[in-house]
Structure formats: C-alpha cells, structure tokens
C-alpha cells in the first residue's frame, strides 16, 4: 500500500529530511584521509541524536552500524569499521537515514577524499545527474517507470551500468514503504505518482558491469570486478507542482 501524506505529515517528513541532509553534510566535511568509517558513523549518530532524532538503520535486519559507509568498489551497506581508514583518492558513499518525530529522511552522497581520479569524478557526475534526471520525473500523473527510465537512460549514456538487485523505495513513517523505485525500467509503466507520495530515489551505479556480490560480512555490496561504484539519493515528495526534495539542509 502506498501511503499518502497530508500537509502535517509532509512537514514532519521535511524536518526529518533536513536532519538527514545536515548529518550527511557533516559526514562529507569529515571525510578526510586518516579518519575511519567507524569514527564517521559515530560523528553522524551523535549529531542526529543530539538533534532529537535517531538512526533507524542500527539493528535493521541486524545491521551493526548506525549508517552505511561504502568505499570505492563498495556500492552500498558498508559497515562502519575502525580499521577502514580513508585515504587520499578514495570515494566514499555515505548513506544516512534519520528518524525524527516518527518520520524518516534518507539520503546519500558519494564524496571525494582529497584528490581523486578523473575516472572517479566522471562516475560521480553521471550518478548525481542520474538522480536529478529521476527527480525531474517525480511529478503527479507520471509513473514510477518514468523515473526509472530517466535514471537508466542517463547512466547508460555515460557508458556505466545500473547495479542489479538494489532499488529505491517509498518512505514515510517506515524506512521502506511501497512503491518500489527501480533504477531501470520502462517509461509509462508502474504505479501512478500522486500528490502526497514520498519516495527515496537512489541510483546505484557501477563502472562497468551490473553484477554485484555481498562480502562475507553479510552486508557490504561490492562490484564483482572491484571497479568503482557510486550512489546518490534524495527523499522526494510528489506535489501538485514541482517535485519537492525533502533532504535539503535548509528549507
């Protein structure tokens, strides 16, 4: 069932989105050579908790961290680790979810650690652009497939691959609600978008191949050829007009 949020609920979603976005920006500022992903997770959790929220990923399906930090060939679900120290030239995807007063905000950015390769910069550019191509289609009357197709088309135009198996999702009082929001599909297909729907749009992009595998820690999703992967995400509300990005630092 797709939940439709009223104005009061949308305000709550906006507040949660703001907190998630501020925490993500804080992660980005701290993503420098020498810091561990465990320390980043601690900093982000402290920020969210000190602002009255909490991190719903902690314990979700048994996930051990508060949020996900994925480096280079790691696509998603990287577990915070004291031994995982960032170094110059790494790219780091921070996937941050904040719950505030019963509502969820979910957002992701891939950050550069120091000076990164042109190859990494281009992958990041295309993935972020793919997110915004998807958001542009998050308009009442369109269908989920319009978002999916816009993302897929842009990813492929860069010569990249949409990662298999993992998708975006509806979001609200729960982190994962209906509908599914795939990163590939047919325009004009899937559930119709209506004002009051809130969805997390999250292109996950691999350098060469769509295949991924899960590491022995049961969580970390990596490319099968160890090439770079990238992830950007916003929580977005469908309105009567333009799409409303909820995960912004300031509304």
61 binds ligand MF3 (CB under 6 A): yes
74 binds ligand MF3 (CB under 6 A): no
Q: What is the 3-state secondary structure (H, E, C) of 99-141?
A: EECCEEEEEEEEEECCCCCHHHHHHHHHHHHHHHHHHHCCCCC
d(CA 225, CA 73) in angstroms, rounded, equals: 8
- DSSP secondary structure code for residue 62 in this structure: G
106 binds ligand MF3 (CB under 6 A): yes
Stretch (H or E) spanning 161: strand 161-162
The CB-of-141 to ligand MF3 minimum distance in angstroms stands at: 26
63 binds ligand MF3 (CB under 6 A): yes
Where does this chain touch ligand MF3 (CB under 6 A) — which range of 13-21, 54-62, 119-127, 148-156? 54-62
99 binds ligand MF3 (CB under 6 A): no
The CB-of-10 to ligand MF3 minimum distance in angstroms stands at: 20
Give the alpha-carbon dihedral of 89, 95, 100, 104, to 10 degrees: 150
The CB-of-189 to Co ion minimum distance in angstroms stands at: 21
Which residue ranges make up the site for ligand MF3 (CB under 6 A)? 57, 60-61, 63, 68, 77, 95, 97, 106, 200, 202
């Amino acid at each position: 069932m797709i939940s439709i949020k009223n104005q009061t609920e949308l305000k709550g979603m906006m507040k949660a989105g703001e907190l998630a976005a501020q925490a993500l920006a804080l992660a980005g500022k701290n993503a420098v050579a020498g810091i561990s992903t465990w320390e980043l997770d601690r900093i982000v959790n402290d920020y969210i908790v000190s602002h009255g929220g909490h991190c719903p990923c902690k314990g979700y399906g048994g996930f051990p961290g508060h949020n996900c930090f994925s480096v280079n060939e790691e696509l998603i679900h990287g577990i915070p680790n004291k031994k995982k120290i960032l170094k110059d030239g790494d790219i780091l995807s921070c996937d941050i979810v904040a719950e505030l007063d019963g509502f969820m905000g979910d957002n992701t950015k891939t950050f550069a650690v120091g000076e990164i390769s042109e190859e990494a910069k281009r992958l990041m550019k295309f993935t972020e652009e793919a997110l915004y191509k998807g958001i542009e289609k998050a308009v009442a009357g369109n269908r989920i497939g319009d978002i999916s197709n816009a993302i897929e088309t842009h990813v492929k135009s860069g010569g990249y691959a949409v990662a298999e198996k993992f998708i975006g999702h509806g979001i609200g009082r729960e982190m994962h609600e209906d509908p599914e929001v795939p990163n590939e599909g047919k325009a004009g297909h899937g559930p119709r978008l209506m004002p009051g729907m809130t969805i997390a749009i999250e292109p996950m992009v691999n350098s060469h191949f769509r295949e991924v595998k899960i590491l022995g820690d049961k969580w970390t999703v990596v490319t099968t050829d160890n090439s770079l992967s990238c992830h950007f995400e916003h929580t977005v509300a469908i309105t009567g007009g333009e799409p409303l990005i909820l995960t912004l630092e300031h509304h």
